Chain A
Amino acid sequence: MGVHAERPGGALATRPLHFVWIADSSGSMASDGKIQSLNNAIRETIPHLRQVAESHPFAQMLVRCIAFSTGVHWHIREPTPIENLTWRDLKAGGYTHMGEALQEVAIELSAPSMERRALPPSLILISDGQPTDDFQAGLDMLLKQPWGRQSVRLAIAIGRDADIDVLREFMGDSGLAPVPANNPEQLVASIRWASVVASRLSSEPTRGFAQAQLGLEGFPDLEETW
């Protein structure tokens, strides 16, 4: 019998890292090609997240996406390993039930399926407008959960009508501001940046925002489309 077979305890495993895009699919996202730009941006981000996962062999990145409009729905319900993720296009229409989306995420993060050994979840909120429901109730419920409080939360503000204040409140006291995305190129860059930074921070819980290689410089500085 070898040393490996003699080792006490059962199977060993990498630690789960739950990554959730919380995406605005309200009616305003249908204007000026924003929803298609969002779909393109997430599709372009996936290979970069795979690179993050490869460079953090102690974490297994599991991706979900919840979309909010009039009500919410899990666009990707099952936590999906980033290696297996394919993106189906989101469609836009309806109001902006951002608070309900945060409540739904809170429920998922409080479920027994959240393993005690998991890494801090990554939550990326993407929106172009103002919540039309009770945002505060949703945020309160999220932050009431230990996993919600410890999550790495970043937000992307699409266009000039995005509600910067609620996005900033979602992010908490990280010292960072919501990332602006005022044209399709910036949206790609901002989603890629936020997704990669959040997943890196979650993969390395001892590394804080102050130590993270944030690299916000170099965003495409093009004319504002939105």
Chain B
Amino acid sequence: MTSTLKSTWQVVSGTSLGGHHLLTGTPNQDAVSARSAGSEGSLVAISVADGHGSEYCFRSDVGSSAAVEIATRLGVDFLERHGHLPAETLSTAATEELIPLIVNEWTTRINEHRRLEPLTSHESTLSLPDGVENSLLPYGTTLLLALITDHCGLVLQVGDGDAIAVDTRGNVSLPVPPDSDLVAGTTASLCSSHASSQFRVGITDPEQGPIALWALVTDGYGNSFSDPQWQQQVGSDLLKHLSENGVAWVQERIGSWLAESASAGGDDVSMVLAVRSDAR
């Protein structure tokens, strides 16, 4: 999937079914979304989500699709009202206002889905592990959202995945560092009863130059690289390709790049890029 928004920021995105999902006949449980706003289209929200896909999360493709749609829609609305604020203030406002809104609307959407499409008799036998009461669990998903303005970027994240910011000089940063407790597929989730407090929030490094490229990826992408510091090379390679060959060239190739990662690591793989038009 690729798309281009007519704005200061151009968006490229793609997703690929994991090799293991291909073998087992399970669907792609990742989702990707992007929206722009602002008088000159200078405000952008991009998002990826990774449905857990575990035995108890058999509707997580629905959960991830809802998550990115809600997050980008509420995200651009938030940017239109607060996008002029300095980064720190924007971060505080997002934590206090936007995150609870996203969690509440996602919860409402999922409860409505359950009402309209009750669990089948087979799903009911899988719905919950012993001793767990959580009607949202079948829809469990991560969420990674970047809110991008001319002067800063803000990342909101619950669960795994990576957000990469590359400045015009090619310096790579991770606004939300990896959580060392998230190993072996464990992840925080939007379906948690305290999801709002599980969000991690990061802003662009003030030491970095103007950001030329944002990349959000689900964990299947990073897990396919042998180098644990893969973000550095991916960030600089992408910026080089965009500078030398342009957005359309990357759009043509992103699907096959993601398919290679999905084939190596076995998991679904998704990526969304926001590229500053005047930085190329």
Q: Do A and B bind each other?
A: yes
Contact of A10 among B20, B186, B227, B256 (CB under 8 A): B227
Q: A218 within 8 Å of B by Cβ?
A: no
Inter-chain CA distance A155–B261, complex, in Å, is: 35
Q: Taking A15-B223, A15-B266, A119-B184 as contacts, is the C-beta distance between A7 and B257 under 8 angstroms? A: yes
Q: Are B228 and A115 in contact (CB under 8 A)?
A: yes
Q: Are B183 and A4 in contact (CB under 8 A)?
A: no
Per-residue 0/1 for B46-66: is the Cβ within 8 Å of any A Cβ (1 yes, 0 no)? 000000111111000000000
Q: B265 within 8 Å of A by Cβ?
A: yes
Q: Are B184 and A12 in contact (CB under 8 A)?
A: no
Q: A14 within 8 Å of B by Cβ?
A: yes
Within B140-190, which residues are at the interface with A (CB < 8 Å)?
Answer: 178, 180-186
Contact of A11 among B225, B238, B267 (CB under 8 A): B225
Determine the residue in chain B with the shortest Cβ distance to A8: B237
Q: A215 within 8 Å of B by Cβ?
A: no
Contacts of A8 in B (CB 8 A): 233-234, 237-238, 241, 257
Q: Are B52 and A12 in contact (CB under 8 A)?
A: no
Chain B's interface: helix, strand, loop or mixed, by majority?
loop
Contacts of A115 in B (CB 8 A): 228
Determine the residue in chain B with the shortest Cβ distance to A173: B130
Inter-chain CA distance A3–B245, complex, in Å, is: 13
Q: Taking A9-B234, A10-B227 as contacts, is the C-beta distance between A150 and B183 under 8 angstroms? A: yes
Inter-chain CA distance A13–B225, complex, in Å, is: 6
Contacts of A150 in B (CB 8 A): 183-186
Q: A85 within 8 Å of B by Cβ?
A: no
Q: Are A211 and B233 in contact (CB under 8 A)?
A: no
Q: A57 within 8 Å of B by Cβ?
A: yes
Inter-chain CA distance A175–B230, complex, in Å, is: 38
Q: A88 within 8 Å of B by Cβ?
A: no
Q: Are A208 and B56 in contact (CB under 8 A)?
A: yes
Contacts of B223 in A (CB 8 A): 15, 117
Q: B91 within 8 Å of A by Cβ?
A: no
Q: Taking A3-B257, A206-B185 as contacts, is the C-beta distance between A12 and B264 under 8 angstroms? A: yes
Contacts of B266 in A (CB 8 A): 14-15, 57-59
Q: Are B257 and A206 in contact (CB under 8 A)?
A: no
Q: B121 within 8 Å of A by Cβ?
A: no
| Extra pairs beyond A6-B241, A208-B54 (13, CB < 8 Å) | A7-B260, A8-B257, A9-B230, A10-B225, A12-B225, A12-B226, A58-B265, A120-B185, A146-B181, A146-B182, A147-B184, A150-B186, A207-B55
